[in-house]
Amino acid sequence: MFLLEKLEQYAGTDRIALLYQGQSVSYRTLFRQAEAFAAYLLDRFGDDDAPVLIYGHKELVIPACMFGAIKAGHSYIPVDTTFPPERVAQILEQAVPCLTVNLTERELPAQQAIDEAALADILAKYDGKFDCVDRIADQHTVYTLFTSGTTGKPKGVQITAKNIAAFIDGVAPWFDCGLTEGVFLNEISYSFDVSVCALYYALSRGMTLYTIDKQTLNDPKALFTALRESKIDFWVSTPSLAEFCVRSEQFCEALLPNTKKFVFCGEVLTKKLASEMLTRFPHAEILNAYGPTEATVLVTAVTVDEALCSDSRSIPIGYPFANLRAVIAAPDGTELPDGQEGELLLLGDCVSPGYLHRADLNERAFFTDAKTGMRGYHTGDLCKIENGLIYYLGRMDGQVKLNGFRVELEDVESNLLRVENIARAAVVPVFEDGKTVSLTAFVCLQSPDGLSSLARAKKVKTALSAALPSYMIPRKIVAMDDFPVNTNGKVDKKALSALA
């Protein structure tokens, strides 16, 4: 695998791979730790190639566990601490990993688990004992990311070595800025696919990942101190992080004088933010990019300039990468001409083999193109193509992107119905400048609870926090006697959206 080959190459240098809270990990150490973890897995599990689940946040040892799992012929499942234990238990039940690396203080129902102290002992004991060639083929599953699902339980997207190679080939012309080293922002959760930009693109080019954790992101003073010290050359994030940063006049070229590129993805990039970034960072390139987890992170990109910001249309999500096909299709699958609106279909080696153990979903979401034999994916995104550029027009179902994370509204609704005294639930997104900024949940109670709106909302949110990641919990909880219905007798989500 290309990345592992590059890691071995850089292991013979003094380059720094990871920086986090004043600590650093060299490429030499990262490679040795990965090999030690691989040796342990081979010794303990032999030919059992079941996945390895890694539960943590931004601990420095996580990349070594990921790459060690791959070297030993396993895949890995990164699960962030934003996932509560109940959610992790659902993932464990579906994935059945051979081992869980639990870097948190939380208890998990994992049959085979090691904690941080045990992992440290393993890396010391097996240091220098890896004597096997990397066991990786194109079709080998490298990682599985669990995203929100319509049933109230997460679904796992499997990504192969072939998928990652296609991602690297596709994104390289857009990301290249002449850097063979440099510093790459690493603030995105490892359970969110955009982190692959740092783990696979940046590390394969010998760059240093400057790691910022959730605690720092939530502390403006600490965040700006970290950014000032980072000397970041390359920034990848959701627009939400930049929108938070531009509230301060400090966020400008003087704060990040080395930054050559800003790449925004995961949610809608507004013209307001794009224009502000062009003003604040006049010598940096601003990219808007797009891609679903099922097509390996990113599949389109465009350089944002004043012309795009002043255009009457929204900022496009970009041009398709050269190594894939992007098709706008009618409901019957017929390819539509330029300018017409339809579902965006993606075809190419970047498309996932499918969801883990979900043949029912795979049949609906994935396909093989009869003419080309290419693997295809139904994005569910309403788009149009004009002059080669793809414009995003919204979702065709109940899915939204919130702070870059995919959220199925039905998932939130299903978990609301598990909360005591809630008889019915409907969740709607709240928009601002064309992007989702929060969720509002409307509920009908089984019986009066005598609580104030504030007390009720607190109680419901506390109950939801045991089952859902924090980013999926609605900001507002509104109790109603009954829901409005449309002419089909269904809950009128448009009316609820107006109320929200």
Give Cβ neighbours of residue 172 (< 8 Å, ≥ 6 apart).
201
Give Cβ neighbours of residue 277 (< 8 Å, ≥ 6 apart).
242, 246, 262, 284, 286, 304
- Percentage of the chain beyond pLDDT 70 is 99
Whether the pTM exceeds 0.85: the reply is yes
Please, what sign has the CA dihedral across residues 161, 51, 211, 31?
negative
Give Cβ neighbours of residue 55 (< 8 Å, ≥ 6 apart).
79, 81, 83, 88, 100, 101, 102, 103, 104, 106, 108
Question: Could you give the C-alpha distances from 3 to 9, 142, 168, 289, 395, in angstroms and in order?
Answer: 10, 12, 10, 23, 34
Question: Which of 58-67, 405-414, 426-435, 488-497 shows the lowest mean pLDDT across its residues?
Answer: 488-497
Instruction: Evaluate if residue 489 carries a pLDDT over 70.
Output: no
Instruction: Evaluate if residue 487 carries a pLDDT over 70.
Output: no
Residues 285, 303: Cα–Cα separation, whole Å: 7
Instruction: Evaluate if residue 150 carries a pLDDT over 80.
Output: no
Cα–Cα nearest to 415, from 469, 350, 476: 469
Mean pLDDT, residues 450-460:
95
Please answer whether residues 69 and 38 qualify as being in contact, where contact means their C-beta atoms are separated by less than 8 angstroms: yes
Instruction: Evaluate if residue 180 carries a pLDDT over 80.
Output: no
Query: For 317-334, what is each residue's pLDDT tens digit?
Result: 999 999 999 999 999 999
Q: What angle do CA 204, 207, 211 make, to 5 degrees?
A: 110
Instruction: Evaluate if residue 280 carries a pLDDT over 70.
Output: yes
The CB density around residue 278, as the number of other CB atoms within 10 Å, is 17
Please answer whether residues 232 and 208 qualify as being in contact, where contact means their C-beta atoms are separated by less than 8 angstroms: no
Residues 405, 238: Cα–Cα separation, whole Å: 9
pLDDT bin (cut points 50, 70, 90) of residue 282 is: very high
Pick the CATH number of 2-290 from 3.40.50.12780, 3.40.50.720, 3.40.1260.10, 1.10.10.60: 3.40.50.12780
Query: For 206-216, what is each residue's pLDDT tens digit?
Result: 999 999 999 99
Residues 349, 150: Cα–Cα separation, whole Å: 26
Cα–Cα nearest to 419, from 457, 379, 469, 472: 457
Please answer whether residues 484 and 493 qualify as being in contact, where contact means their C-beta atoms are separated by less than 8 angstroms: no
Instruction: Say yes or no: do domains 2-290 and 399-499 share a fold.
Output: no
What's the confidence (pLDDT) of residue 134?
74
Residues 94, 77: Cα–Cα separation, whole Å: 11
Please answer whether residues 460 and 417 qualify as being in contact, where contact means their C-beta atoms are separated by less than 8 angstroms: no
Query: For 43-83, what is each residue's pLDDT tens digit?
Result: 999 999 999 999 999 999 999 999 999 999 999 999 999 99
Class of domain 399-499: alpha beta
- Percentage of the chain beyond pLDDT 90 is 85
Domain edges within the chain = 2-290, 399-499
Instruction: Evaluate if residue 14 carries a pLDDT over 70.
Output: yes
Residues 180, 7: Cα–Cα separation, whole Å: 13
Query: For 89-127, what is each residue's pLDDT tens digit?
Result: 999 999 999 999 999 999 999 889 999 999 999 999 999
Instruction: Evaluate if residue 294 carries a pLDDT over 80.
Output: yes
